[in-house]
Amino acid sequence: MAIPDYLIDQIRQSNNIVEVISGYLPLKKIGSNFKALCPFHQEKTPSFIVSPQKEIFHCFGCGEGGNVFNFLMKNEKISFIEAVERLAERAGISLPKDRASREEFSRVSQERKSLFEINCHAADFFHRCLKSSISAQKAREYLNKRGLKEEIIDKFGLGYAPGSGRGLLEAAVNKGYSKELLEKAGLITFSEKRNDYRDQLFDRIIFPISDVQSRIIAFGGRVLGERLPKYLNSPETAVFYKGKILYALNLAKESIQKKNQIIILEGYTDVLTCHQFGVENSVATLGTALTRDHVSIISRYAEEVVIVYDADTAGVKAALRGLDLLIGSGLKVKVVALPQGTDPDDFLRSQGAEKFQREISQSLSLVDYRIKLVSQTTDLNTSEGKVAVVEEVLPTIARIKNLIEQKEEVKKLSRLISVDEETLLLELGRINRKTYQWQEPSYREELAKDYRDPTSQQGILKAEKGLVQVMLN
């Protein structure tokens, strides 16, 4: 049975190598890697290393190594196809079983190849337009005004989509590409007004969007005038899923792995400016909140996540959405709140890289950041303020995997708002039971049990009494 390459890649990416191997071996975290006694030869000192960032394992004792498929093949003594089937089942991915399915997968595989090809052609067209087209003069002036250097423009492959609305369409058709393929790639759209096709993006600065393998999968466009929307992305296609992509990860991954830290920004220009100023472990979401797929990708490359968004109301809300997912995955999450009305691009160009790095180093934990937000609008010395901060912060604390760290956060909150720990622990236990009741068995249940003596009602009564006192004082 022939399995398309794209499907094998999808299966590999959907199976975290640390999670798979930890099902066979007790892995111990050492820095950004994991270590264990090698299962393939006798040894007393662990020399078997698993790298979540590189998605490989290697034994420095016997030399065995490879990816998640290789581990299953070696450990279970099965074929490659069997390893693929097992991991596909584990990830809930369907494999082609009959002739019709195989033909469909083959069709999809060929379509994906065609989409990568046409996107590459489009990126080249846009880039050449930016560099040499007379109509791109305003685009060049805008980028120059933003202080972006030629090497950054070339590194990120920036381009310009002509204002005629047919520049890419005509150039691609002249090269032999069909309108059907262009439409599937999200590069053109049918205009009811014109009763004809036109370019999806026109009179915009173009930001090619690549996957982690540096294959161009989509485009983002920034309008030059006042037309709305200011930013517009390609529609989702067979190769582009917005919730699974971090902009510039292909260019940032080496720096991210080296620093064991990923900086997540809001916009394309923020990322470009960061890279120009040497902050190369920076990426951006594509106008979406963080998703579970984002979290899965991030956890392969770094242990610390720093969120740097605009310091306006929308920016703050965007920064908070999805961050509890990061906490729940065991990642260390910090938040940088830049001065009001300042985005990372503005800050770097006005204050420089050194001050920006200082902001990063002084970033707040997600718990502390949530407390800060509440304290800006509510007096924490009042009962209303105490209830507000508990409602804001405890759900985040409940997500923390490390129980010691979790209890320390409860202690800190207890001291801050002068509410005894037992009251907070009771409420935290309630949140755990409500939120994680689907996990069975679960360390969350053990945590909830640990918050009170199950043989006595005294702990509960004392906590409930404390909660009443909070409401009345």
Residue 473 has pLDDT above 80, yes or no: no
- In CATH terms, the superfamily for domain 5-91 is Zinc finger, CHC2-typedomain (3.90.580.10)
- Distance CA(160)–CA(148), nearest Å, equals 15
Instruction: Kindly report the pTM of this predicted structure.
Output: 0.79
- Read off the pLDDT of residues 414-446 as tens digits, 9 standing for 90 and up: 999 999 999 999 988 888 777 654 343 333 444
pLDDT, mean of residues 335-362:
91
Question: Which of 50-59, 333-342, 429-438 is predicted most confidently?
Answer: 50-59
Q: What is the pLDDT of residue 377?
A: 87
- The matching CATH number, chosen from 3.10.350.10, 3.40.47.10, 2.40.240.10, 3.40.1360.10, for 244-362 is 3.40.1360.10
What is residue 215's three-state secondary structure?
coil
Q: What is the pLDDT of residue 311?
A: 62
User: What does DSSP assign to residue 334?
Assistant: E
- Read off the pLDDT of residues 452-472 as tens digits, 9 standing for 90 and up: 443 344 444 444 444 444 443
pLDDT, mean of residues 369-385:
90
Residue 63 has pLDDT above 90, yes or no: yes
- The matching CATH number, chosen from 3.40.1350.10, 1.25.10.10, 3.90.980.10, 3.40.190.10, for 100-240 is 3.90.980.10
pLDDT, mean of residues 174-203:
94
Q: What is the pLDDT of residue 446?
A: 41
Task: Identify the weakest region by mean pLDDT among 3-12, 175-184, 274-283.
Answer: 3-12
* Neighbour tally for 404: CB within 10 Å: 8
HEC sequence for 253-310: HHHHHHHCEEEEECCHHHHHHHHHCCCCCEEECCCCCCCHHHHHHHHHHCCEEEEEEC
pLDDT, mean of residues 158-173:
96
- Distance CA(262)–CA(297), nearest Å, equals 11
Q: Which pLDDT band, with edges at 50, 70 and 90, does 313 fall under?
A: low
pLDDT, mean of residues 246-262:
94
